[in-house]
Homo-oligomer: A and B are copies of this chain.
Amino acid sequence: MQTYSATNGSRHVAPAAVALRGTANIPEQNATAKQIGALRSLVRGEELFAEGDPADHFYKVVSGTIRTYKLLNDGRRQIDAFQLAGDIFGLETGAEHRFSAEAVEDTTVIVVRRCPFAALAHDNPDFGDQLMSSMMTNLERAHDHMLLLGRKTAQEKIATFLLDMAARIAKGDRFELPMQRSDIADHLGLTIETVSRTLTQLAKNGLIEIAAASRHVVLRNKPALQRLNA
């Protein structure tokens, strides 16, 4: 997860070979280091690709956070996922990306050139498994998230979101939210006002604690949150 040679073309893609190991969420992964990607670093807010861009590459997060989202023509935004370290995303059936991707905070990703899947799976079956697994994980997350968007109340949405983030990044019951309120709102199908109010409410009820910086979260009553979750 190193060897980043900077100043390397307009898109900051270094040709250096990079290992694609260390994947979270993929138990089957036993791949030896494979030379299939280059590193790219993004600063907070930087765009990785936009809807409609040629989908010649896909990506794996090394560190940081990427938001993937779609827009309606009037600007309404739906963030379908926050991609954290280990997550793979950006693989498409068609020639173009069907969603956009931006760095939520300073982030490093591995850039992988797209190639026929059969060929890849043949040359490198472990990586094939990893990819398939990653697609399925993304799909399972999407299913869970559709349930949230379609059928949960604001309070339930926030509770689910906090538990999910905690499961992915918390040390103990504490973690730092990498994204701002507008990102959370556009992920959960709410407004920033409702996100803020609901967090305040959960804090008042003693389920969570929000530090002054308002990004640091402590889960104070996980069972109560889980009751809101399901």
Within the complex, the shortest CB–CB distance from A157 to chain B, in Å, comes to 10
Nearest-Cβ distance from residue A182 to partner chain B, whole angstroms: 13
Contact count band on A: 35 or more
Contacts of A118 in B (CB 8 A): 121, 125-126, 128-129
Chain A residues engaging chain B, CB cutoff 8 angstroms: 70, 72-73, 76-78, 80, 91-93, 98-99, 116-118, 121-122, 125-126, 128-129, 131-133, 135-140, 142-147, 149-152, 186-189, 230
Q: What is the chain B residue whose CB lies nearest that of A141?
A: B142
Q: Which of B70, B132, B150, B151 interacts with A147 by CB under 8 Å?
A: B70
26 contacts across the A-B interface (CB closer than 8 A): A70-B144, A73-B230, A78-B146, A78-B150, A80-B142, A80-B143, A80-B147, A92-B140, A93-B136, A99-B143, A117-B121, A118-B125, A118-B126, A118-B128, A122-B122, A132-B135, A135-B135, A135-B139, A138-B139, A142-B142, A142-B143, A145-B146, A146-B146, A146-B149, A149-B149, A149-B150
Given contacts A151-B76, A230-B72, contact A142 B146 (CB under 8 A): yes
Contacts of A188 in B (CB 8 A): 150
The oligomer's copy count stands at 2
A151 with B121: in contact, given A93-B133, A142-B142, A143-B142 (CB under 8 Å)? no
B151 near A77 (CB under 8 angstroms)?
Answer: yes
Q: Which residues of B contact A186 (CB under 8 A)?
A: 150-151
A140 proximity list for chain B (CB < 8 A): 92-93, 98
Which residues of chain B have C-beta atoms less than 8 A from A143's C-beta? Answer: 70, 80, 98-99, 142
Least CB distance from A143 to B in Å reads 5
Known contacts A93-B140, A140-B98, A142-B139; is-contact A78 B125 (Cβ 8 Å) = no
Contact of A122 among B121, B132, B136 (CB under 8 A): B121
**Which of B117, B144, B145, B152 interacts with A128 by CB under 8 Å?**
B117
Are A151 and B93 neighbours in the complex by a CB distance under 8 Å?
no
In the assembled complex, which residues on chain B have CB atoms less than 8 Å from the CB atom of A138? 139
A208 to chain B, nearest CB (A): 21
CB proximity of A38 to chain B, nearest CB, Å: 23
